[in-house]
Chains A and B, each alone.
Chain A
Amino acid sequence: MSEKNCPAIEVKDLVAKYGERIILNHISFTVPQGEILTILGSSGCGKSTLLKHLTGLYTPLSGEILLHGKSIVHAAEEEKRLLMSSFGVAYQGGALFRSFTVEENVALPLEEYTLLSREEIRKKVKEKLKMVNLDGFQHLMPADLSGGMLKRCAFARAMALDPKLLFFDEPSAGLDPVSSASLDELILQIREKTGATIVIVTHELDSIFRISDRSIMLDAGTKKIIADGKPEDLRKNCANEEVRRFLNRGKL
């Protein structure tokens, strides 16, 4: 299969454990290129864990994960780093480097992976920060930013290299409704512009319905995917009552 038309993410029979505790039990799914997938589930059901396996931070107990056809599970160290640099990740808490300014945070991947001059990098950083409405805050330290600003800055950093694959862990949690809605617009814009595949962990129902092409829902009890499909369809017709309850804010 050529890189052009193979799926962005393929997960086959993934099993994940912390110590003795199984968190994900034989999970499989495929994400075609250009799709926006949301991962849903109650708190503590293993969404972040799944994301950390997809991004290669943890090695699964068994199973296979292919990103654009390349295994991140079986890649050698050097190969894995190359693969990792090809996607962007925004973490739940931002995870900006605290000793760097906003500008330096976003510039870091550009400095390391491109041959751009200092001036070009500055321009590029400005452009990315403008996308997330943070232009003008270049010289602040992460400690001086609010929670929402941190998240947006983390977004800008994840997008610095215009990756074809993006992972966001709870991008809109803790944001006010307006910022949260503008973040949703931003995600749709990114997809439109770059055709990137985007995987998002989220609880926000509004976002889920607004942006996702497809949702999968993890269950803490069975440790499996209990629903997979368009969120609108799942809300109305999903066989599983839990899923309908989740998507209807707890009401049926």
Chain B
Amino acid sequence: MAGEDQKKSFPEDFFISVGGMFYTLKEEIFSCIVFAGRVSSAVLDAFRHPGKIRKRELLYFMNLCGADGVPITFLICFLTGFILGYQCAVQMQKYGADAFLAGLVGCAMVRELSPLMVSIIATGRTGSAFAAEIGSMKVSEEVDALRTMGFMPERFLVVPKLFAMALMMPLLAIIGDIAGILGGAVIGITVLHQPLSAYYSQTVSWVRPGYFLESIIKTAVFGIIICFIGCWRGFRTGSDALAVGRSTTSSVVLSILFVIIADTILAHFFNNIFF
């Protein structure tokens, strides 16, 4: 086979590889749609019979993607607020726009950066872990075992993760929001020499309560996307151990891509609501 391939001349080779790419793309999109259908039906089923949701797994995953992520989320969002505040303070000082620092950092963190940062952390921490977990279960035939026991694997392997992500990501975002505002405040106080009370009242007057709702909704959506892609890549894992590595990588890349795309759409949507 390999020998034949090498003999092919340029145009043939080119068209074959382009065709192959589109074929793979078609396969992946189909599998994604099928998987979405299966997950939706499993989620609907879970809503219909809430007693059948496995509580222990739900709690385990809530702990994994929620509580365990608090310190790193706090640190990264604090530093993001700090960096953003620092870069802006330097520029704003030139124009005497010091008083707007609190508003800028607060709005940017709550509406955009904290949901994004939380999602990127979750992609690396949990999305890839989901892909690896399901992928290795596939390699060790555990997914097959679930199926031949007459279960829908999605019910066991996706539903608890999906609920845990949709519930815990918004909480992390709120923590991130507050951490980001604190990071900005440190700059306001140390670089621009604003009193804490002034920074606080500026923040309160700029950052509307609705922005927190935006934060919550965005991260819930991102959480669902990350979980969905992680699990989908996990289920697409081939049957060797290397395949697990490949599927975790692709889950991270695809999650970030789709989170950014979703963010673009949601940013537009929320701007229409608020302005």
Is A89 interfacial (CB-CB < 8 Å)? Answer: yes
Quick check: B150 and A89 within 8 Å, CB to CB?
A: no
Quick check: A89 and B145 within 8 Å, CB to CB?
A: yes
Quick check: A84 and B140 within 8 Å, CB to CB?
A: no
B134-158, CB < 8 A from A: 137, 140-142, 144-152
Is A82 interfacial (CB-CB < 8 Å)? Answer: yes
Taking CB atoms, residues of chain B closer than 8 Å to A97 are 137, 142, 145-146
Is A112 interfacial (CB-CB < 8 Å)? Answer: yes
Is A59 interfacial (CB-CB < 8 Å)? Answer: no
A83-120, CB < 8 A from B: 83-87, 89, 91-93, 95-99, 108-109, 112-113
Q: Which of B57, B137, B148 has the most chain A CB within a 10 Å cutoff?
A: B148
* Size range of the chain A interface in the assembly: 20 to 34
Bound Cα distance A98, B149 (Å): 16
Quick check: B148 and A84 within 8 Å, CB to CB?
A: yes
A-B contact count (CB 8 A): 49
Quick check: B148 and A56 within 8 Å, CB to CB?
A: yes
Q: Report how many residues on chain B are interfacial, defined by Cβ distance under 8 Å.
A: 15
Is A55 interfacial (CB-CB < 8 Å)? Answer: yes
Quick check: B145 and A112 within 8 Å, CB to CB?
A: no
Chain A interface, >50% SS class: loop
Q: Mark contacts of A130-161 with chain B using CB atoms, 8 A cut-off: 1 yes-contact digit, 0 otherwise.
A: 00000000000000000000000000000000
Bound Cα distance A89, B141 (Å): 11
Quick check: B151 and A81 within 8 Å, CB to CB?
A: yes
Bound Cα distance A151, B137 (Å): 17
Is A52 interfacial (CB-CB < 8 Å)? Answer: yes
Quick check: A112 and B151 within 8 Å, CB to CB?
A: yes
B109-152, CB < 8 A from A: 137, 140-142, 144-152
Is A57 interfacial (CB-CB < 8 Å)? Answer: yes
Q: Mark contacts of B206-220 with chain A using CB atoms, 8 A cut-off: 1 yes-contact digit, 0 otherwise.
A: 000000000000000
Q: How far is the CB of B5 from chain A (nearest CB, A)?
A: 15
Cβ 8 A contact of B144, one of A95, A98, A108: A95
Bound Cα distance A93, B241 (Å): 14
Taking CB atoms, residues of chain B closer than 8 Å to A99 are 57, 60
Cβ 8 A contact of B150, one of A57, A85, A91: A85
Taking CB atoms, residues of chain B closer than 8 Å to A87 are 148
Taking CB atoms, residues of chain B closer than 8 Å to A84 are 147-150
Cβ 8 A contact of B148, one of A89, A96, A113: A89
Q: How far is the CB of B40 from chain A (nearest CB, A)?
A: 14
Cβ 8 A contact of B147, one of A57, A86, A96, A112: A57
Q: How far is the CB of B51 from chain A (nearest CB, A)?
A: 12
Bound Cα distance A97, B147 (Å): 13
Quick check: A82 and B141 within 8 Å, CB to CB?
A: no
Chain A residue with minimal CB distance to B139? Answer: A93
Closest 4 CB pairs of A and B: A85-B150, A95-B141, A95-B145, A84-B150
12 A-B pairs whose Cβ atoms sit less than 8 Å apart in the complex: A56-B147, A57-B144, A57-B148, A81-B150, A86-B150, A91-B144, A95-B141, A96-B142, A97-B142, A97-B146, A98-B142, A112-B151
